[in-house]
Amino acid sequence: MRLTAAVPALNLILCLLSSGATQAAQPSTEEIPAAMLHRAPPLPAPSGEVVRVTDEKALQAAVDSLKNGQTILLAPGVYRLSRTLTFAGHDSVTLRGASGGREDVVLRGEGFPARGQKIGSLIQAYDCRGLTVADLTLTGAWWHLIHVAGERGAVGALIHNVHFVDSKEQLFKVNPGYHPTVFPDSGTVEFCRFEFTGRASQRYTAGVDILGAAGWRVHDCDFIRIRGPQPDSLCDAAVMFWQQCRDVTVERCFFYECDFGIWIGLDEGYKAGKREPGTAFDIIGAVVRDNVIFRRQSGDTGISLHHAKDFEVSHNTIILNGTYPCCVEYRFAGTQGRLSGNLSDGPLCARDSAAAELEDNVDSAGPDWFVDPADGDLRLTTTGMSALRRSGQGAPAGARLGGPSSADP
């Protein structure tokens, strides 16, 4: 049975995009396997002082006068932003939708107009410690929908149950800026949905793009159609950590029709990093586990590890349907780590003198192993469970019988 992701709230967003100057691709008619998507648990009720807003003018005023510990609660509606919401000089502040439903509150930029007003990023955090953004939909940024800029000490961000739809550059961006010693560390992105309605408007874009940061965790998120403007014009990865990131985690995420799934390090990203000048590694300490990656259109590898040290890639399910020769690639001399318990329909490939410990991986998954492999429902069938048991591996947690939790699209 095929399940569609078309719901009234998403249709509203698509109408908002097409009614403005956004140069986004036409909405896709692809059917998303709803059984693979995630549902966010509610956050606790706000503590401390709460500021309630019902329109864009009041929202801008609340951000401009924000005090430490405050929560801004947005009433349901569409907020067409006149300028970036900037969080600077704050501790433990929150921006969240009042209803808890992320489709109920839409913050909208001006899209990608050829002329006129452009909203660079919808939300930007500078020297802000403990910023929470939750229960919102963001769309139509010229640069990024959320930008955490670490040059003045942005640490401890929590991004919860946010729907990111269409930006010209990265949907979510974290970087250390120009400061030589301050980094945007210890953040969490959870239960979010990242997508382009059809394809990106240009190649220079990605889903989650994190540079020079330590201690970030991306978990229980959905990445839908993170792909370039044409099948032969690939964009960057759905999730990418590079420029000397440290101790990062990507787990229990679902990747659907993305050009690349997860990048842990880039070819020579370490040369531009600032955490450890002279290092030969772009990533030290990475955990990539229990993720599901599915693609039937053109693209590149599912998981890539470049100049990476001390990585663990385990219990992921990667089905690329022959669109690229290798489901996982680990590359370059010095790269070292462990790949265990992964299930794929293609090999795990060493390149350019990389090394890794391989244990209990199965690279011969068949279509009858999954509920609906043609459309990306990669929950294991009893046939698949039996085949894995015969192989000695057992079931990868990312494609366990029953699959990830069902969710509203």
* Tokens 């009041």 belong to residue: 58
Any idea of the CA torsion for 375, 378, 384, 390, to the nearest 10 degrees?
A: 140
Tally: H helices and E strands in the chain: 3, 34
The conformation of residue 181, written as its DSSP 8-state character, comes to S
Q: Is 45 helix (H, G, I), strand (E, B) or coil?
A: coil
pLDDT at residue 196, rounded to an integer:
96
Q: What is the DSSP string of 1-33?
A: -------HHHHHHHHHHHHTT--PPPPP-PPP-
pLDDT at residue 197, rounded to an integer:
93
pLDDT at residue 403, rounded to an integer:
47
Burial profile 347-380: b = 16 or more Cβ within 10 angstroms, e = fewer: ebebeeebebeeebbbbebeeebbbbbebbbbbb
pLDDT lower than 50: segments of the chain: 1-25, 402-409
- Whether the model pTM is above 0.85: yes
Amino acid present at 116: G
pLDDT at residue 405, rounded to an integer:
40
pLDDT at residue 4, rounded to an integer:
35
pLDDT at residue 395, rounded to an integer:
67
Helix (H) / strand (E) element for 251: namely: strand 245-251
Q: What are the angstrom distances between the C-alpha of 386 and each of 4, 56, 369, 379, 380? A: 29, 55, 9, 13, 10
**How far apart (Å, rounded) are the C-alpha atoms in residues 131 and 159?**
8
pLDDT at residue 397, rounded to an integer:
59
Find how far residue 142's CA is from the centre of its chain.
Answer: 18
